[in-house]
Chains A and B, each alone.
Chain A
């Protein structure tokens, strides 16, 4: 029999259109958790520092903690985000037997890559006592492992354990730090790190309790770096973008340069950390909105397609997505604007409460305004992640990083009156860019889903 005609059925194989992006995007929302934790911890230490001025021991501990949080969040970011993606795919495929293997692989990857960095920083760049060097390096590694371990519980949607472990750990950290304060900065840092170590162990125990498979086999996790280099880069760039204005500002003439060599600029950092806390209600709102309303219309869109719906039904499900997103964006905008205006109006009073001084007012106000756009930027990148628009997410994040670095450097040249405009500009541009990408993508969602972002088609290539 001559002819192949209908053997073409292989072509008609229906590839899944939305392979597990939802799980990844949801975890990505929760990944703002570590950053919030950082902000809270640093803000807490700031308060403590200010109230006990003169304790140079506290200042030294504080700067090491900031360095640990900042550098480890950025440099372990690729491992954390790749792990998030790996777990999301596992959840989607309902195959989690690799989880303990992935946990140990991820932790090993963190230790192997971060150890040289921590040792280099605290033993060679900074000037510390040998005991402090050991504690600082250990503390750095605990924090770095914590970011990755938290990913597992976020991916498993165990928000309660995450919150309780972090809150309890932080409380213990402060308590132990104060208790050990008679041993100087070493005692403070050791106490603080012990609290974090406990948090880490609780998280690991919780993960292993959930997935008791033996972890002997090596996990295919690392192959994801080759599979999703863009996601790995995203994890690095976004976290670096959050921190880069602070790093640039550490070059300011007003920065504090202690004998340890660990430079910081508490006036700027503190104002920014406080300002960025205004994002918390917005983040809470959109975690709620995304998990409830948006996810329903999102899932309905893909289900309509996969359950052989007509184009008219698909278009109507598409309309629901557009409506839900614009409503969420509107309420997010209103909330953020109201909050920003409120905070700005009250800022002199707030500064008092937060124990910031008047010189920080400008930075604080710009930080509050910037945070409004930052929240919108975050919301939009998560929406883009839902539709697997990784390239657009990466472009917006790179823009955020570059502008935050470049514009902040420029304000440094222009003088103290301009401090804070760098971060504000970066947030406005990144949010606008993400809005442009999201509007464009969501307007053409059916085309995007079937053709331009369909792995089954793009993979076939030439």
Chain B
């Protein structure tokens, strides 16, 4: 790995190449799909470097570095302006953390760039001058808060912020952050400092995920409350965290050249956090359509077969599926039901599911296959079922769809888009399945009955799904869309002025 200029610098928070998971796999596929581009990678981790690496970096990765946002280097104790530094930073810092954006962040960069070689915990967090800045910030608006908790919160926030601001960035033509948060903030900084455009792709919406975590964090001693979906009470520490993450997102959005996400539902939240409408676009996740579409469907000289494809874990709500099968079996006798997926991840939940099957007298009806090769099963599945309580863009609906299998799915993530098409789909492919409410076995059973007792509807929905997936969710197509983004951004002239 040399220090050559990369075509694309990916800014990744808490994922690739350390952790396995959806976003990491997606990142790996993106790099592999653009084998002719040189990638630089900045992995942002919390504290210690993870001991294991889940992915081997492809050969077109020319630069890889890791930033730990919980661990700032010490820096020098004396350099020009060291004593005045905390007091000079304080107004910009307050303005930024209280919900600022690109302008406040640029001001911080302006103050910190000249001391990048020297600044660190010694000068920014641990000096007596930093202490007086801390107490001033505390007295301006938090004087009723537990000082101990304020102290640690202040340090944690600033350690993260400063480690993003003081880290070394690879040289690249385009900076692409795969979330907002620290990664998005780093992209904003890259954009401001190099004049190169930054892109943001969000799978889940960062501020939303953080708000849930913050609301659930009962270790934080904070009289202020934060309830889900509501605004935070002003002044508390949870509000401080939430405002900070909002500021990071807003800054990243304001600095970005383009902002993409997987589906339209996410865009509402992006706009709420300050993303300008003109920059937004949707790029869904794609699948290898040719792999699934060539699967031969077995002739239907057997009972129809429904399947839930997924891990046996609570978020997939397997129990609703089992209860729906029970209700369905009361009126329809001729069908088989499968659960395809590993059941060793949450052993207790898997045990409960089997007990429920037994209790409802479905032992001969439902089969748990464990981990299987999906391609072998798709040829004899007629209807895919998804009962999850939370999803973004479930690939299984697309994979089944590519094989000509329609779905019955809960109304989560973008499932409605996947089954019914986006609002003004052209050409309109029609219904690819049925959407049901969450945790509603009766509704799921009714949808299943409507599909499997009506072969014409089932076949039509399968055809619609196959066409839709091929038209909009073909990985080749999706790769080309990212390529267009990269090409367009890479050829943009440098542009240093900011908002």
Assess the A3–B146 pair: CB atoms within 8 A: no
* A312 is an interface residue with CB less than 8 A from chain B: yes
When distances are taken between beta carbons in the complex, the residues of chain B under 8 Å from A461 are 74
* A216 is an interface residue with CB less than 8 A from chain B: no
Assess the A3–B147 pair: CB atoms within 8 A: no
Q: Which of B23, B74, B139, B206 contacts A462 (CB 8 A)?
A: B74
The 0/1 profile, CB within 8 Å of B marked 1, for residues 1-22 of chain A is 1111111111111100000000
- In this complex, what residue of A is CB-closest to B213? A6
User: Which of A33-41, A258-266, A302-310 lies at the interface?
Assistant: A302-310
Assess the A1–B209 pair: CB atoms within 8 A: yes
When distances are taken between beta carbons in the complex, the residues of chain B under 8 Å from A7 are 14, 46
User: Which of B150-158, B270-278, B397-405, B419-427 lies at the interface?
Assistant: B150-158
* B183 is an interface residue with CB less than 8 A from chain A: yes
* B103 is an interface residue with CB less than 8 A from chain A: no
The 0/1 profile, CB within 8 Å of A marked 1, for residues 285-329 of chain B is 000000000000000000000000000000000000000000000
Assess the B69–A3 pair: CB atoms within 8 A: no
Q: Which of A1, A4, A11, A450 contacts B131 (CB 8 A)?
A: A450
User: Which of B51-59, B215-223, B373-381 lies at the interface?
Assistant: B215-223
When distances are taken between beta carbons in the complex, the residues of chain A under 8 Å from B44 are 4
Assess the A12–B219 pair: CB atoms within 8 A: yes
- Please report which residues of chain B, range 136-168, place their CB below 8 angstroms from some CB of chain A when the two chains form the complex: 138-139, 143-153, 155-156, 159-160
The 0/1 profile, CB within 8 Å of A marked 1, for residues 167-188 of chain B is 0000000000011011100000
- In this complex, what residue of B is CB-closest to A306? B148
- Please report which residues of chain B, range 201-229, place their CB below 8 angstroms from some CB of chain A when the two chains form the complex: 202-204, 206, 209-210, 213-214, 217, 219-221
When distances are taken between beta carbons in the complex, the residues of chain A under 8 Å from B203 are 1-2
When distances are taken between beta carbons in the complex, the residues of chain A under 8 Å from B46 are 4, 7-8, 10
- In this complex, what residue of A is CB-closest to B27? A2
CA distance A462 to B13 in the complex (A): 22
When distances are taken between beta carbons in the complex, the residues of chain A under 8 Å from B14 are 2-4, 7
CA distance A11 to B139 in the complex (A): 23
Assess the A311–B156 pair: CB atoms within 8 A: no
When distances are taken between beta carbons in the complex, the residues of chain B under 8 Å from A314 are 147
* A451 is an interface residue with CB less than 8 A from chain B: yes
Assess the B155–A11 pair: CB atoms within 8 A: yes
CA distance A312 to B44 in the complex (A): 37
When distances are taken between beta carbons in the complex, the residues of chain A under 8 Å from B144 are 310
Size of interface on A: residues with Cβ below 8 Å to B: 31
Q: How far is the CB of A427 from chain B (nearest CB, A)?
A: 31
CA distance A8 to B68 in the complex (A): 10
Q: How far is the CB of A2 from chain B (nearest CB, A)?
A: 4
Q: Which of B120, B143, B213 contacts A312 (CB 8 A)?
A: B143
Assess the B143–A5 pair: CB atoms within 8 A: no
CA distance A164 to B21 in the complex (A): 70
Q: How far is the CB of B232 from chain A (nearest CB, A)?
A: 14
When distances are taken between beta carbons in the complex, the residues of chain B under 8 Å from A460 are 71, 121
Q: How far is the CB of B197 from chain A (nearest CB, A)?
A: 21
Q: A310-B146, A311-B143 are in contact. Are A3 and B181 (CB under 8 A)?
A: yes
When distances are taken between beta carbons in the complex, the residues of chain A under 8 Å from B13 are 2-5
CA distance A311 to B138 in the complex (A): 8
Q: Which of the listed residues B44, B46, B69, B221 has the most CB atoms from chain A within 10 Å of its own CB? A: B46
When distances are taken between beta carbons in the complex, the residues of chain A under 8 Å from B130 are 451
Assess the B70–A8 pair: CB atoms within 8 A: yes
CA distance A309 to B221 in the complex (A): 11
- In this complex, what residue of B is CB-closest to A8? B156
CA distance A451 to B155 in the complex (A): 11
Assess the B73–A4 pair: CB atoms within 8 A: no
When distances are taken between beta carbons in the complex, the residues of chain B under 8 Å from A201 are none
Assess the A2–B206 pair: CB atoms within 8 A: yes
Q: Which of B21, B159, B213 contacts A5 (CB 8 A)?
A: B213
The 0/1 profile, CB within 8 Å of B marked 1, for residues 428-462 of chain A is 00000000000000001001001110000100111
CA distance A460 to B12 in the complex (A): 25
* B126 is an interface residue with CB less than 8 A from chain A: yes
Give 9 closest A-B pairs by Cβ, nearest first.
A308-B146, A4-B14, A2-B179, A462-B74, A6-B213, A12-B152, A11-B156, A311-B147, A7-B46
Interface residue ranges, A against B (CB under 8 Å): 1-14, 305-306, 308-312, 314, 444, 447, 450-452, 457, 460-462
CB-defined A-B contacts under 8 Å, sample of 26: A2-B204, A2-B206, A3-B183, A3-B210, A4-B13, A4-B181, A4-B182, A5-B181, A6-B217, A7-B14, A7-B46, A8-B70, A11-B156, A13-B152, A14-B148, A14-B149, A305-B148, A306-B148, A308-B146, A308-B148, A309-B147, A309-B148, A311-B143, A447-B128, A462-B120, A462-B121
- Beyond A4-B13, A6-B214, 16 extra complex contacts between A and B, CB < 8 Å: A1-B209, A2-B12, A2-B23, A2-B181, A3-B183, A4-B44, A5-B206, A5-B210, A8-B46, A11-B152, A12-B152, A311-B138, A311-B139, A314-B147, A457-B155, A462-B74
